[in-house]
Amino acid sequence: MNKLLMHPAAKPVVFALCLLPFAWLFYAAATDGLGANPAEHLIRSTGDWTLRFICIVLAVTPLRVTTKTNALARFRRMLGLFAYFYVVVHLLSYSWFDMGFELQDIAKDIAKRPFILVGFSGFLLLTPLAATSFNRAIKALGAKRWQALHRLVYLIAGLGLLHFFWMRAGKNNFSEVFVYAAIIGVLLAWRVWNFASKKKQQPARPIGVRPQPTE
């Protein structure tokens, strides 16, 4: 599997697969295939795909570690950028179809409706992650600060889930919410368990002994 994922064609194939939902939505919109309320369908579909890609990004490390498929790491940046791409399309769809790009009305709507405020907050937090997903940004920030910044993805996942929950609360339909909550809960639980396991494996340092500087 590692050899297959390291093939030069692997990234273009993954890129094309990630773009398929957008291509289908674009085609459906062009052919009047989005149902009776195309604007609502487009807004909700792009929101769903944002949450799905966030789940996929969170799943990369657990899958890489448990299956020993280290080559999966090379796709994490692309998957994260696609999560941002779909949330941008989601926000643009809402701003265009629901609000007609009226900035004052958009600002009032965000402040008035908590579920939109939560979703917009997730978008704002995801923006610096997308902006620092490049090698130059990693070098500029330093590995530790870059890793600390990108841990915001856990908070973003929680905000996305809360946004989805409040949106579905109006129709009292929580079946999909529970599915996403279970997936995100399992992935975060694995990370906590993995972190605790690594801590236990570290040899205890004798009291009063300071670590020696490395060359």
Q: Does residue 119 belong to any structural domain of this protein?
A: yes
Number of structural domains, the chain?
1
Counts of helices then strands in the chain (DSSP H, E): 10, 0
How far is Cα 59 from Cα 79, in angstroms, rounded to an integer?
11
Q: Residue 24 has what pLDDT?
A: 96
Query: Would you state the pLDDT for residue 204?
Result: 54
Q: Domain for residue 212, yes or no?
A: no
The pLDDT profile of the chain, 215 residues, written as one tens digit per residue, is 899 999 999 999 999 999 999 999 999 999 999 988 999 999 999 999 999 999 999 999 999 999 999 999 999 999 999 999 999 999 999 999 999 999 999 999 999 999 999 999 999 999 999 999 988 998 999 989 999 999 999 999 999 999 999 988 877 889 999 999 999 999 999 999 988 888 777 665 555 545 554 43
Q: Where are the alpha helices (DSSP H) in 94-174?
A: 103-112, 114-131, 135-141, 143-150, 152-169
pLDDT at 44: 94
pLDDT of residue 213: 47
What is the rounded CA–CA span in Å between residue 176 and residue 67?
A: 27
Q: Is 10 within the bounds of a domain?
A: yes
| Structure confidence at residue 197 (pLDDT) | 85
Residue 165 lies in a domain: yes
Residue 89 within any structural domain of the chain: yes
138-144 contacts at long range (C-beta below 8 A, 24 or more positions apart):
none
Please check whether residue 47 is in contact with residue 39, taking contact to mean a CB–CB distance below 8 angstroms. no
Cβ neighbors of 116 (< 8 A, separation 6 or more) are 94, 109, 110, 163
Predicted pLDDT at 184? 96
pTM, 2 dp: 0.90
131 and 137 in contact (C-beta within 8 Å)? Answer: yes
Residues 6+ apart with CB under 8 A from 123: 87, 88, 91
**CA–CA distance, 200 with 194 (Å, rounded to integer):** 10
pLDDT at 205: 54
- Asked if residue 24 belongs to a domain, the reply is yes
φ, ψ at 182 (rounded to 5°): -65, -45
b/e 27-50 (16+ beta carbons within 10 angstroms → b): ebeeeeebeeeeeebbbbbbbbbb
φ/ψ of residue 126, rounded to 5: -75, -25
Domain range holding 128?
2-193
* CATH number of the domain encompassing residue 141: 1.20.120
- 49 in any annotated domain: yes
Residue 208 lies in a domain: no
